[in-house]
Each structure stands twice: as C-alpha cells, then as structure tokens.
Homo-oligomer: A and B are copies of this chain.
Amino acid sequence: MDIKKYVLDKALEAKEGARQIAKASSKQKNEALLGMAEALQKRAKELISENKKDIQYAEGKGLSKALIDRLRLTDKRINEMAQGLIEVSALPDPAGEIIKMWKRPNGMTVGRMRVPIGLIGIIYESRPNVTADAASLCLKAGNAVILRGGSEAIHSNKAIVKVLRDVIKKNGLHQGAVTFIDMPDREAIMEMLRLEGIVDLIIPRGGEALIRAVTENSRIPVLKHYKGICHIFIDRDADLKMAEEICFNAKVQRPGTCNAMETMLVDKKIAKAFLPSMIQRFKKAGVALKGCPLTRKIDSSLEAVQEEDFYKEYLDLILNTKIVEDIDDAMAHIAKYGSAHSDAIVTNDYAKAMRFLKEVDSSAVFVNASTRLNDGFQFGLGAEIGISTDKIHARGPMGIEELTCTKFIVLGNGQLRE
C-alpha cells in the first residue's frame, strides 16, 4: 500500500471535514457529542470485544502489566469516556466568540473573533480513551481531527472512531471531522508531518522520544510537552506546617505525573526546624530521599544527591533535597535545572511571593499551593487536551480555547487607506 497516498487522501477528507465542522452551529456540535456519548455506551460490547484483540496481542508481546492495564477497556472506562463527552458538550463554544472590539479614529470598529484552527493532528501512544477525548475537544471548538494512535491499541481505536463517525454521519455532519490513520507504520506519522498547508497543528502525546521525533521532523507547528522537573522552595518566612503538607502532596499524591515535585529547596534559616519531621514523613511514605551535603548534616542516613540528579524527571517516589541560601539562590537553581513546568514557593512574605511569581519563568507558578494543581480541570478550564511546555500559542494546560485562534474583523462604512 502506498503510505504517502493513503495519508494524503485521509488528510484531504479531513480537510473537507474541517471546512464543514467550522460552519456547524453550537447546537449541532453538542448534539453530536451527546449522541457519541450515548452510542459509546450502547455499543460497549463491540468496543470491549475489539479491545480484547489488542489485549491478547499485548499479552503475547509480553508488555508490562501497567501498560496492559492502560490499554484495557471496561464498562466503567467506557462510561467515563461517555461522561467526558457529555462534559465537553456542556462547555461554552469558543468559536465565534468576539473577545475584544475597539473603535479607530477613522470610525471603523476592529475586533478579534475566536475561530477554529482547522485540522489538528493528534499523534498519541496507547491509551484508547485519548481517541474520544481528543476528538471531542477538537470538534467542540469547530476543528476536524486526524488521529494516529499507538499500534498496540489499533483495534480499540478503530472501533471507537467507527462509533464516533457513525454518529457524525447520522447527525448530518461531515465524517472527515474525525479521521483515523489506520496504519501502524512509523512512516505514516512522517507523512502526516509533511502535510503543511493541509494539517494546521500537530499535538503529540506520549513519551519524550515520540515528541522529539515529531518536533524534529514536522513542517507543521507542534504544541508539545517535554518534561516536568518541578520545585518547591520553602522560604524562611513559610508556615512550616503548610509547607510540609504541600511538599508531601506534591511528591506523594501521584508521583508518576509531570507536575509532581522533583526537588525540594529549603531556606537554610529554617532547614533544621523543617527537615527532620518532613524527612520522617517522606520515609514513612516510601520516598527515597537524596540530600545535598548540608541536608546530610541534618540527616546522615540520606543518599548524597549528584548534580545530574537535579536534571532528572523521576516520575517515582524519589526526591532531591537541597538547602539554599535564600530566594535568589532558589530561583537561580530553578532557572538552571528546571524545565519551566510547575514551580512553587511557600512563604508568608508578600514581597518574596510577588518576586517569585514574576521572576520564575514556568508554565505555572504557585504561591502556597501544590504543584500537582497544574491541570486544566483544577484551573477551571473545563477540559484539557494536554499541557504545553512551549512558549508559543499556549503554555501550561490547554483547554478548548487553546484549540482556537483569532482573526481580525472590521466593521466599516467606507474606510480607505490614506
């Protein structure tokens, strides 16, 4: 099969879908989303039976239990997927919203109107729920989506997409609005990345290797998430009890996430008061602690932290502890070793809180709150298509507004360029 032609044909169908879905009313889009939720639940058996093929293949290949669990569809998970679609249908429609209008001296009124981006390519690894999630968010904002999921979930993904497309058709919309690249070859991804002028945006979701490969090969703009090396600085003016709760939450509540803490920076003035009980609590929770020389003077049982540890995203119950001189020392550490993802200060000092907010250049900066809160739902965006560590278009959690752009609109009565 000619991969190039296959991908191009799919993309051209999707592009036509994009033109049509951009014109759909909020009512049409919401009815389709609710119809999809209903159909996913009604056709759960079909989905689970297709999913079994993926599970069998994965077991045969000897994939890890954790990966197989992520792959598995159950009635409960299908209901959650459907619930997600219902929630997206209830969000306000960003497309067509006029976010600003102003008058010019020549009498014309200029404004900015939110419009769909167009055709969005999502390249993701093996969780099948991403298929329904991503499709629903793109569709709500008036975009078409071209999906390329991981090969391990191919049967599940195809079954989900079939359900979604059946509903789209039944609702009189263009099926190209949700298009799936049914091709396990890596070359199919490379072909997608060359569709400049057809695909408007690529969002890769998965491990760092996938994201680097996409970024290096794409001629299309990419919104991506590399890694989260997150810090909490406990200032000398912190409420130490609050600091302990925040640090514990940021490390232990779900250590496998991008916004969990990697390095705890402790002001030397309160290190002796703060660290002993904090360390005990972490140890009890099974956290492996690595300490700087000064930390190890307080607790010599800690393993010594190496400089390269400060660059690691652990995604596990491991934590670096470093005693710093002051806020400047802490911010210098964050600037050097951090990944500009999620960083927090715990302090009751107003001036230091404001400096940290302003000077730390991360996608989310927290005063007296856990870095784990860096999330679209927690921030009230209603939904999340991913977190961006880029500095262009979107930074931090991306909701449906981030799946739109704005165009200028001008209301005139004969204005000319002088």
Contact flag A392-B393 (CB < 8 Å), given A221-B221, A379-B104, A409-B357: yes
Contact flag A102-B219 (CB < 8 Å), given A412-B366, A414-B368, A416-B372: no
**A410 to B369, Cβ gap below 8 A?**
yes
Complex CA gap A294/B249 in Å reads 73
**A408 to B396, Cβ gap below 8 A?**
yes
Which chain B positions have C-beta within 8 A of A216?
219
Q: Report if A108 contacts B (CB, 8 A).
A: yes
Which chain B positions have C-beta within 8 A of A200?
391-392
Count of A residues near B, CB < 8 Å?
70
Which chain B positions have C-beta within 8 A of A378?
104, 417
Number of this chain's copies in the complex: 2
Q: Report if A335 contacts B (CB, 8 A).
A: yes
Contact flag A245-B215 (CB < 8 Å), given A104-B379, A108-B369, A407-B362: no
- Residues of A336-377 whose CB lies within 8 A of B: 353, 357-359, 361-370, 372-375
Q: Report if A287 contacts B (CB, 8 A).
A: no
Which chain B positions have C-beta within 8 A of A221?
221-222, 390, 392-393
Complex CA gap A216/B219 in Å reads 6
Complex CA gap A391/B410 in Å reads 18
Instruction: Scan A290-302; emit 1 where CB is below 8 A from any B CB, else 0.
Output: 0000000000000
**A364 to B407, Cβ gap below 8 A?**
yes
Q: Which residue of B lies closest to A360 (CB)?
A: B407
Complex CA gap A353/B409 in Å reads 11
A410 → chain B closest CB, angstroms:
4
Complex CA gap A254/B365 in Å reads 48
Complex CA gap A118/B335 in Å reads 13
Q: Report if A60 contacts B (CB, 8 A).
A: no
Which chain B positions have C-beta within 8 A of A115?
361
**B22 to A373, Cβ gap below 8 A?**
no
Contact flag A417-B370 (CB < 8 Å), given A395-B406, A407-B396, A408-B397: yes
Complex CA gap A410/B380 in Å reads 12
Which chain B positions have C-beta within 8 A of A215?
196, 219
Which chain B positions have C-beta within 8 A of A413?
242, 368-369
Which chain B positions have C-beta within 8 A of A397?
408
Complex CA gap A96/B365 in Å reads 13
Q: Report if A4 contacts B (CB, 8 A).
A: no
Q: Report if A264 contacts B (CB, 8 A).
A: no
Q: Report if A330 contacts B (CB, 8 A).
A: no
Q: Report if A405 contacts B (CB, 8 A).
A: yes
A323 → chain B closest CB, angstroms:
23
Complex CA gap A246/B380 in Å reads 45
**B104 to A412, Cβ gap below 8 A?**
no
Which chain B positions have C-beta within 8 A of A108?
369, 373
Q: Report if A169 contacts B (CB, 8 A).
A: no
Q: Report if A3 contacts B (CB, 8 A).
A: no
Contact flag A367-B254 (CB < 8 Å), given A200-B391, A391-B200: no
**A379 to B416, Cβ gap below 8 A?**
no
A352 → chain B closest CB, angstroms:
13
Instruction: Scan A71-112; emit 1 where CB is below 8 A from any B CB, else 0.
Output: 000000000000000000000000010000010100010100
